[in-house]
Structure formats: C-alpha cells, structure tokens
Amino acid sequence: VQSRLPDVGTSIFSVMSKMALEHGAINLSQGFPDFSIDEKIIQLVNKYMLQGNNQYAPMPGSPSLRERIASVIFKTYKVKVDLETDVTVTAGATEGLFSVIAAFVGSGDEVIVFDTAYDSYDPSIRLNGGVPVHIDLNYPDFSIDWDRVRNKITKRTRAIIINTPHNPTGTVLKEADLIELEKIVLEHNILVISDEVYERLIYDNTKHQSVLTRPALAGHSLAVFSFGKTFHATGWKCGYVIAPAYLSKEVRRAHQFIVFSVNTPVQMALAEYMNEEGHYLHLGKFYQEKRDFFLQQIKGSSFEPLPSYGSYFQLLSYKNISQKGDVEMAEELTKKFKVASIPVSVFYKNETDNKLLRFCFAKKESTLEKAATILRSI
C-alpha cells in the first residue's frame, strides 16, 4: 500500500519504554509518573461507574466537567470562557491537537512548527494534507526567533504551533514572545495552536504565559490542555481544547468523527475532584522539588544539565562523556547502564548533533536517586 507517512517509524516513546522494559532499565524516557495517583479520584470513577454512568458522554464533554474547566480557567487566568461554546473535552491533548489540525488544516496549508517539537505535530499536519514548516529554536536557549517566523509566512500559512512549558527542553515562553506572536497573527490572520499541557508544571516563580490571557491573541487561538499531566494520570487520556465559539464549532465538527466523545465516568470523576481546593495549585512546587532533587543527585556527574523552567523534563548534555550520536548514546545508556532516556535529535526535522538526552523527573525520589547514582558513575 501507499503509506501516508512513509518516513514515520514507531514513536520514540514506545521504542524507549520497550527497550527499558526489555533491559530492566530505570525508565526516565517516556513522560509519565511512576507514583500512584490519589485514591480518591479512583474511587470517584468507581462511584460514577456503579451509579450507571457508562454510556456515551455528550459530544463536547460532560457538562459538569466543562463547568469545572471554565471555573478553574477563570480562577487561574481571570478569563471567562463559555462552557457551552468554548470548551471541548478530548481524548487527551493528542486528540485535541489532531482535531484542531483536522478542523483547520487542509491540502497545501502550511503550519509553522518549532524544532525541537513534540512528535505528534508534524504527522498530524501531514495526515490532514498540510505542510509542516519547521523552524529551529535558537540554540542553546531554545528561544524563538520571531524574525525568522515572519520570513517563513506565506499566503498558505494557516497556523503556528507553540508549546509552553516546552517538551522536551523545559523552556517557557515570555510575555514578549506572546506580544510578537500576537502581532504576527493579527497582521496575517493566522491561527495559533497553543499546546499548554504543562501549564501547571512551571518553576522558580515563573508565570505561565497562556494565550488565553491576551484577548486579541485568544481570539485567534486554540489552547490544548491535558488532565494526564495535571492529575498524574496519563493513561486516562483526557484533555480539552479552549477556543472562541467560532473556532470551537469547527473543532467539534472534527472531534465528533474522530472519537465522538470521551470516557464518561472519568469526566465525571475529574469534575468532582477538581472541586477539591488546591490540588493543581501545588503542582509547580511538587515538581520543582523533584527537578531540584534530580539536579542535586546528579551533581558531580559528567552530564551537564541545561536549565529546565517547566514541564517534567530535564535535558542533560553528554558532550563531556562521549561524541556518539544521541540515539546511539540513549541505546547504550539503556542497555549497558540501565537508565532509559529520550534522544532529543528525534524531535528535529533537520539533522542535529547537540548531544542532548531528555530525562523525565516525574518519578519517586527513590527512582531518581537510583538513576542518578548510575549517571554519576558514567
């Protein structure tokens, strides 16, 4: 058969997690917590299932959950979103991103993607007939060169995808970035797809710059979020898209034929759990402590950390250890030293040789300690 994605192999997350399992390595590769989620929320799913909430949820999401999302967004960003028209619950951020792209990107439409980029953006654009236009982030601070963005805009530019806090680098956009983005978007009438799944995982008293906080920008934006990150439950695959009614309407047109609707008892449980004061308010502190613990534990090793201001990822440079490519290095670390990570070059369209590996610190201290002991010995 003619492949629609002939150059795409199995996702690096599956590859590295499988390798970790096969070789008994500590898995700091794929991003997911290795600690338990709050039992209360599990009991809530159970409760809603036992109460008989086991049939299709409404297509845009359970009303109770959309109400909670709107309320938490107001509390967080002082922005009013209409639960009827602006909130769509999706099967994780991955489906949210795909539905957004399917809704707006057609044959030959160009979408600007910053490399290194999360791995689903490029194939999602191409599966919908679009053309990803890759722009490398500046190295080594992974900032965006907005003049380069301006130079890449054509009549076919449909959207720009941003991601803050950023996977895999842990960088965050500044207010000045959103101001530049807003100018470009308004001038050229372009959409912004804003991947904000790590909105709560932001450190050192930095403020998350959400597109939702700038009304003119928000008018052109689709912001994508994930409960997987916020509630430590990546396996539940539940997230949401926030966009003005005229954009959400189109997202729902696609979403209803991609999954129709999302797991009912999980949505109801999340809605009730989100009533609990505070859980999400402490996530930044919680993960900052993990980042700091990991950094402290690898002190004295030959790996060099780059700054991580957000997300649950820490980049380490191994340039003082080996001149191997990062894919080979990650494989050797997993098979020989028993610590799995993600090679960063796979997130680039163009070939790169930055000698960087990504480590996920959403792990128990004991896991991080064991991994760091190994890393110090290399």
Residues near ligand GLN (CB under 6 A): 11, 13, 30-31, 167
Q: Would you say 11 or 256 has its CB closer to ligand GLN?
A: 11
Start-end of H helices in the chain: 12-22, 39-50, 63-77, 92-104, 121-127, 146-152, 175-188, 215-218, 227-230, 245-258, 264-273, 283-297, 326-332, 365-376
Give me the least distance between CB of 167 and ligand GLN, in Å please: 5
Q: Would you say 81 or 344 has its CB closer to ligand GLN?
A: 344
Q: Would you say 223 or 297 has its CB closer to ligand PMP?
A: 223
Q: Could you tell me if 242 and 86 are in contact, meaning their C-beta atoms sit under 8 angstroms apart?
A: yes
The Cα–Cα gap between 79 and 213 comes to 7
Q: Which residue is nearest to ligand GLN (CB)?
A: 31
Site of interaction with ligand PMP (CB under 6 A): 31, 92-94, 118, 163, 167, 195, 197, 226, 228, 234, 239
Q: Would you say 167 or 288 has its CB closer to ligand PMP?
A: 167
Q: Would you say 31 or 165 has its CB closer to ligand GLN?
A: 31
Closest CA to 131 of 121, 141, 117: 121
The Cα–Cα gap between 17 and 37 comes to 20
Q: Could you tell me if 363 and 51 are in contact, meaning their C-beta atoms sit under 8 angstroms apart?
A: no
Q: Would you say 14 or 151 has its CB closer to ligand GLN?
A: 14
Give me the least distance between CB of 224 and ligand GLN, in Å please: 12
Give me the least distance between CB of 352 and ligand PMP, in Å please: 19
Task: Name which of ligand PMP, ligand GLN, none residue 314 binds, using a CB cut-off of 5 to 8 Å depending on partner kind.
Answer: none
- Please, which residues bridge with residue 111 across strands? 132, 159
Task: Name which of ligand GLN, ligand PMP, none residue 86 binds, using a CB cut-off of 5 to 8 Å depending on partner kind.
Answer: none
Task: Name which of ligand PMP, ligand GLN, none residue 93 binds, using a CB cut-off of 5 to 8 Å depending on partner kind.
Answer: ligand PMP
The Cα–Cα gap between 194 and 212 comes to 9
Give me the least distance between CB of 315 and ligand PMP, in Å please: 14
Task: Name which of ligand GLN, ligand PMP, none residue 30 binds, using a CB cut-off of 5 to 8 Å depending on partner kind.
Answer: ligand GLN
- φ, ψ for residue 317 (rounded to 5)? -90, 140
The torsion angle over the Cα atoms of residues 108, 113, 117 and 121, rounded to 10 degrees, is: -30
Q: Could you tell me if 218 and 55 are in contact, meaning their C-beta atoms sit under 8 angstroms apart?
A: no
Q: Would you say 31 or 132 has its CB closer to ligand PMP?
A: 31
Q: What is the largest CA-CA distance in the chain?
A: 59
Give me the least distance between CB of 30 and ligand GLN, in Å please: 5
Other CB atoms within 10 Å distance of the CB of residue 107: 8
Give me the least distance between CB of 31 and ligand GLN, in Å please: 3
The Cα–Cα gap between 46 and 39 comes to 11
Give me the least distance between CB of 11 and ligand GLN, in Å please: 6
Q: How many residues does the chain have?
A: 378
Give me the least distance between CB of 170 and ligand PMP, in Å please: 11
Task: Name which of ligand GLN, ligand PMP, none residue 228 binds, using a CB cut-off of 5 to 8 Å depending on partner kind.
Answer: ligand PMP
The Cα–Cα gap between 141 and 182 comes to 22
Q: Could you tell me if 73 and 268 are in contact, meaning their C-beta atoms sit under 8 angstroms apart?
A: no
Q: Would you say 13 or 146 has its CB closer to ligand GLN?
A: 13
Q: Which residue is nearest to ligand PMP (CB)?
A: 92
Task: Name which of ligand GLN, ligand PMP, none residue 239 binds, using a CB cut-off of 5 to 8 Å depending on partner kind.
Answer: ligand PMP
